[in-house]
Amino acid sequence: MHSSSILDRHGRVVDYLRVSVTDLCNFRCFYCMPPSGIRRLAHDEVLRFEEVRRVAGVAASLGVTTLRLTGGEPLVRRGIVDLVAMLSQVDGIDRLAMTTNASRLAEMSSELRSAGLDRVNVSIDTLKRDKFEQITCGGSLRDVLKGVEKALDNGFDQVKLNVVAMKGVNDTEFVELALMARRYPVDVRFIEYMPTEHGVDVEPWRFVPVSAIRSELERALGLEPFDGERGAGPARMFQIEQGLGCIGFIASVSEPFCAKCNRLRLSAEGRLIACLYDGGEVDVKAALRDGSSDERLAALFMEVANMKPLVRSGTTAALVRELGG
């Protein structure tokens, strides 16, 4: 354990920081973005690169070893390659990852890899072009698949494909999606449908438990538990016969993994958040801009870590109750 590790009040070590670098996204996935959109942040509301770098340095000094860049869509943030290069130089950060819709990954993959990005997670919920356009409100599946191809060509340590499982949307494609892990060295991870931070209305009838997906894939493809290292995430991983990659299941609703949660979140506007679904946050941007010391920033990390719940309440718990869980 790091000599200055972040321990929350439940004894969990916090060593993972998700960093939202922008509120903007060039897709409007129906389960993520409300039809009315969200209020766009003013330029000065968003953390500057130097501020993100400073927060990352303080986090690393406290034992955080993994940074994941998110959004919105991180690749629409101007100068994102420069930020990756800055963060890759932070002492103590062992993994620098990004979650992206991959719409711009083909053109930026080589630069991102050279700048120090280790891993990419790509959101892709269908392999049918028309359906992809419907889900994303106009996104190009061809661009996304080209981005995945380029990421593999450029030698990222890991490339993961994230699939949000939704009844009536992609529940007839689970085997086809899983086969991507046989053909390519990618991990395909099925994630349970759940509320988002933007307050999109949840449609409980769309929920598919990953236990049902796992049973389907066991019958169709055969699965064996994977015991190796596949990153710092909550997925339960399985091997597929003759597979170049693995299959993962993230039971974020039916089997919450709160008791093992090791992460905090930094929003684009500088809120350090204990739990996305249960509140608890501090204003890091205000501390950065009023001249606070690194010691004060470290104290804010400890403060928000102690806001982490042992088990979340709120919207996801309500969804489980509605589903009879």
pLDDT at 169: 96
What is the residue type of 181? A
237 - beta bridge partners? 248
Label residue 233 by pLDDT band (50, 70, 90): confident
d(CA 46, CA 20): 10
Nearest Cα residue to 163 out of 235, 75, 261: 235
Considering the chain, what is the average pLDDT of its residues?
A: 91
Q: What is the CA radius of gyration of the chain?
A: 19
DSSP code, position 260: G
Other Cβ atoms within 10 Å of 153 Cβ, number:
12
3-state secondary structure of 211: helix
Shortest CA distance to 187 belongs to which of 158, 147, 227? 158
The pLDDT of residue 34 is above 90: no
As a whole number, mean pLDDT of residues 104-119 equals 98
Q: What's the predicted TM-score (pTM) here?
A: 0.93
Which tens digits make up the pLDDT trace of 259-290?
A: 889 999 999 999 999 998 787 999 999 999 99
pLDDT at residue 324, rounded to an integer = 44
For the chain, give the percent of residues with pLDDT over 90: 78
Under 8 Å CB-to-CB from 68, ≥6 apart: which residues?
16, 17, 18, 19, 97, 98, 99, 121
Instruction: Please say whether the beta carbons of 161 and 127 come within 8 A.
Output: no
Residues 46-97: tens digit of each pLDDT: 999 999 999 999 999 999 999 999 999 999 999 999 999 999 999 999 999 9
Q: Give the separation between CA 55 and CA 288, rounded to whole angstroms.
A: 9
DSSP class per residue in 66-100: EEEEESS-GGGSTTHHHHHHHHHTSTT--EEEEEE
Count of CB atoms within 10 A of residue 311's CB? 11
**189 in helix, strand or coil?**
strand
Which helix (H) or strand (E) is 167 found in, with range?
Answer: none
Q: How confident is the model at residue 108 (pLDDT cuts 50, 70, 90)?
A: very high
pLDDT tens column, 130-187: 999 999 999 999 999 999 999 999 999 999 999 999 999 999 999 999 999 999 999 9
Query: In this predicted model, what pLDDT tens digit does every residue of 184-221 receive, in sequence order?
Result: 999 999 999 987 665 567 788 999 999 999 999 999 99
Spell out the residues 6+ positions from residue 208 whose beta carbon is closer than 8 angstroms to its own.
165, 166, 167, 171, 192, 193
On whether the CB atoms of residues 40 and 34 are closer than 8 A, the answer is: no
Whether the per-residue pLDDT at 2 is higher than 80: the answer is: no
* pLDDT at site 33: 80
**Residue 5's pLDDT band (boundaries 50, 70, 90)?**
confident
- Superfamily of segment(s) 12-322: Aldolase class I (3.20.20.70)
